[in-house]
Structure 1
Amino acid sequence: MVEGGMKCVKYLLFAFNLIFVIAAIALIAVGAYVQIKLVDYYDFFGNEYTGPGILLIIVGVFIFLIAFFGCMGALKENYCLTMSFAVLLAVVFILMIAGGIAAYVLRNEIENEVTETLEKAQDNYGKPGHSGVTKTWDKLQREFECCGVNSSSEWPPKLNGSFPTSCCDNESSSSDCKPSHIWPRTCEQAFVSWLKNKVAIIGGVGIGLAFVMVVGVLFACCLARAIRKEYEVV
């Protein structure tokens, strides 16, 4: 009866480890995507917003390694490996909860920081020695189909009455960039919305995965207890 229960817990632990492996791969993929995406805007933000992507990759790799401990502990019915898995999973659970809460707090602070950074970068558009900022602004406006930080009317005073061609849906020449062709959405609105959405997804996935980890810890503890009892009987 005990042996049958232990096998059941072992298989359930295997199933949860499979979920953790899939989650780890997903976290690494999302982290890589966020990192690559934000690196495109390095000239605006520097290293300020590259941390989340790197953190996701590190957490994904860590969870993958933890899942290995869990699989080996269940496969070999090893008490030490199984308890190590449970302890490490509990540590990651605490970190995921903290990270999820921090993500939602950061989500509410993003708008002011992004607006301030974009306004500073906008003042250097087209100026000598700031080609990186100019290219990044053009990339931002084309990719998000937006114009200006808070309004497209910000550009003419800075560019002798003209608009960047990246502001318009028709970029065949600078003379074609007229008000009727300008993207209606502002870049602050577009970029902040994109960032908030990604942060919300990361935070939600982190908290959701954290609660799945609780179940994994419980199963690991149950299996470790069953293994220990079996050793004591022997």
Structure 2
Amino acid sequence: MIKAETSEWQSADSCTSGSQPPIQRSDMISLKSRMPNYGLPRYQWLTHAWNFFQTEFKCCGVIYFTDWLEMTEMEWPPDSCCARQYPGCARQAHHWDLSALHQE
């Protein structure tokens, strides 16, 4: 994975790497299967959990930010993937500077 040291997106470990105990493949599948519910009013708790998780662990997606593009109808990942978060930061990074996204 590409690491970007000087961009506004902070590189980080995968959201599932380094977990103790190590995360199982079935857990990763379960996390990914919930991604399509992100942002839906009825799943606010899930949206808040993903945002907290990605901000706290400086990661994006289960394995990589492309998980969001593969598992949802979103055109770019959530803004919680940004090291410097502001409204629209993920959209801007997705269009102009992918190194600005958490890379793992």
TM-score, with structure 1 as normaliser: 0.30
Other structure's SS at 1:130 match = helix
Could you tell me which residue of structure 2 aligns to residue 136 of structure 1? 49
* Higher percent of residues as helix: 1
CA contact under 8 A between 1:170 and 1:181: conserved in structure 2? no
Other structure's SS at 1:113 match = helix
CA contact under 8 A between 1:147 and 1:184: conserved in structure 2? yes
Could you tell me which residue of structure 1 aligns to residue 26 of structure 2? 113
Could you tell me which residue of structure 2 aligns to residue 180 of structure 1? 99
Q: How does 1:124-163 map to 2 (within 5 A)?
A: 124-156=37-69, 158-163=72-77
- Show structure 1 runs of 5+ residues with no match: 1-106, 186-234
- Percent of matched pairs sharing the same residue: 27
- Runs of 4+, deviation exceeding 6 Å: none
Other structure's SS at 1:122 match = helix
Q: Could you say which structure has the greater relative contact order, defined with CA pairs below 8 angstroms and 6 or more residues apart?
A: 2
TM-score, with structure 2 as normaliser: 0.63
Between structure 1 and structure 2, the one with the greater Rg is 1
Q: How does 1:73-222 map to 2 (within 5 A)?
A: 107=21, 110-156=23-69, 158-174=72-88, 176-177=89-90, 178=93, 179-185=98-104
CA contact under 8 A between 2:36 and 2:73: conserved in structure 1? no
Could you tell me which residue of structure 2 aligns to residue 208 of structure 1? none
CA deviations 1:126-160 (Å, max 9, x no partner) are: 12300000000000000100001122112235243
- Show structure 2 runs of 5+ residues with no match: 1-20
Deviation at 1:118, TM superposition (A): 0.9
In 2: Cα distance, 1:143 partner to 1:153 partner:
19
Q: How does 1:48-87 map to 2 (within 5 A)?
A: none
